[in-house]
Amino acid sequence: MEGDTYWNISMHFFYIAVGLIIFKLYNSITKGKFDSKRRLDGQVIIVTGASRGMGKFAATDFAKRGAKVILAGVDFKELNEAKDEIIELSGNQNIVAKHLDLASFQSVRNFAKDILKTEHRLDVLVNNAGVNCLLNKKTDDGIHIGLQVNHFGHFLLTNLLIGLLKKSAPSRIIHISSMLHLIGNIDFDDLKGVETKKIDLQYYPDSKLSILVGSNEFSRRLEGTGVTSNSLHPGAVKTDIFMGNQNIIIALFWKMFFGIFCKTVEQGTQTTIYLAVSDDVKYDSGKYYADCKESTWKKTIANNKEVGKKFFERCCDIVGLKPEERLI
């Protein structure tokens, strides 16, 4: 009996090891690379979550191409440190740091108001910022913090900047989703994520599906305006997203896991840069990308027009968009 137990445990570890090796090989094989030297002189680009990780890497790339880059983030000290580093790496002085707390609709409104006051154009909006959703708490706006930071905050920001994006057309909106949207759900009875009891891990895929559904509906509503809206899966990337977890043991486990088995930040940012820069996707909209190419790994509901319309309208109500602010 003890021998059988030992054998079963050994086989479980063997299967886990094989699975991890396959996962590592998959990440090694699927590394899209964008090599274009295309310049972005004269363009204005906003990157949320730009103080670290993929947001910072993308912002640095855009700065090297000559764009004016607006770094948006909640930690202003860290944001200014990123600004100084990006200026040093790129030689581009036209880098601006602005406070943005996506967990506060008022902060989003303040940020958008400042942008509309100071900027005459906006060529690319990169909705990059995100949290791991494992901190199960509500924001002051009464929404699960993971759903608000990952989706609702960006949804409000995008709507408030639509007028400037249309004025600057052709322009692009890029939403960072994830393949984990495949196990996400849209719960119309609890879009805020505070009424229904879920396991903490479910909020992240739910938020990423919300991003994808929202991106596709933005695309439909912006058809003919010259503004495109696309979403992407960056891959499993070794960032600090799980270090915000209150459970230090879980956080350290994820840090070790991502460090060994996942893509580098540079590799994970390639699709974002591709969608922001490439002429090949200049007019593409309503699509979902991974590894610098369109992906077919998309949940069916993401393309459902009726779901998209209902979802968009409900989100408008939740974020408090006024009638005069609904430009699409």
pLDDT, tens digit, for every residue of 75-89? Answer: 999 999 999 999 999
Is 289 one of the catalytic residues?
Answer: no
Using the structure block, give the residue that is written with the tokens 């396959």: 22
Q: Looking at per-residue confidence, does 95 or 261 come out higher? A: 95
263 bridge partner residues: 237
pLDDT of residue 188: 97
| 43: pLDDT strictly greater than 70 | yes
For 211-237, how does the pLDDT look when each residue is reduced to its tens digit (9 = 90+)?
999 999 999 999 999 999 999 999 755
Q: What is the pLDDT of residues 253-270, one digit of tens each?
A: 555 555 555 678 899 999
Residue range 262-319, pLDDT digits in tens = 678 899 999 999 999 999 999 999 999 999 999 988 899 999 999 999 999 999 999 9
* HEC secondary structure over the chain: CHHHHHHHHHHHHHHHHHHHHHHHHHHHHCCCCCCCCCCCCCCEEEEECCCCHHHHHHHHHHHHCCCEEEEEECCHHHHHHHHHHHHHHHCCCCEEEEECCCCCHHHHHHHHHHHHHHCCCCCEEEECCCCCCCCCCECCCCCEHHHHHHHHHHHHHHHHHHHHHHHCCCEEEEEECCHHHHHCCCCCCCCCCCCCCCCHHHHHHHHHHHHHHHHHHHHHHCCCCCEEEEEEECCCECCCHHHHCCCHHHHHHHHHHHHHHCECHHHHHHHHHHHHHCHHHCCCCCCEEECCEECCCCCHHHHCHHHHHHHHHHHHHHHCCCHHHCCC
CB atoms within 10 A of CB 13: 10
Reported as a single tens digit per residue, the pLDDT across 113-164 is 999 999 999 999 999 999 876 767 899 999 999 999 999 999 999 999 999 9
Cα(245)–Cα(249) distance, integer angstroms:
9
Higher pLDDT, 54 or 236: 54
C-alpha distances out from residue 202 to 32, 60, 208, 264, 295, Å:
28, 32, 10, 25, 23
Residue 298 is predicted with a pLDDT of 87
When comparing pLDDT for 196 and 112, which is higher?
112
Task: Name the token pair of 91.
Answer: 């030689």
Model confidence over 172-187: pLDDT tens digits? 999 999 999 999 999 9
Residue 224's CB is within 10 A of a number of other CB atoms, namely 6
Per-residue confidence (pLDDT) for residue 237, from 0 to 100: 52
Residue-level pLDDT at 10: 45
Dihedral sign computed on CA atoms, order 13, 17, 23, 26: negative
The lowest-confidence range among 9-13, 240-244, 286-290 is 9-13
First to last CA, the chain: 67
| Degrees to nearest 5, angle at CA 165 with 162 and 169 | 135
Band (pLDDT 50/70/90 cuts) for residue 252 is low
Residue 22, pLDDT score:
47
- Using the predicted structure, report yes or no on whether residue 17 has a pLDDT greater than 50: no
Confidence of residue 239 (pLDDT cuts 50, 70, 90): low
Least Cα distance to 51 among 99, 92, 111 occurs for: 99
Under the banding of pLDDT at 50, 70 and 90, the label for residue 210 is: very high
C-alpha 301/C-alpha 307 separation (Å) is 7
Which residues share a beta bridge with 48? 72
- From 6, 15, 26, 203, the catalytic residue: 203
Half-sphere exposure of 11 (CA within 13 A, CB side): 6
Examine the pLDDT at 11 and tell me if it is beyond 50.
no
Could you report the per-residue pLDDT of 18-34, keeping only the tens digit for each?
444 444 444 444 457 89
Provide the whole-model pTM: 0.86
Quote the longest CA-to-CA distance of the chain: 75
Convert 40-56 to b/e letters by CB count within 10 Å (16 or more is b): beebbbbbbbbbbbbbb
The pLDDT value recorded for residue 258 is: 56
Contact at 8 Å (CB) between 79 and 99?
yes
In this prediction, residue 20 carries a pLDDT of 40
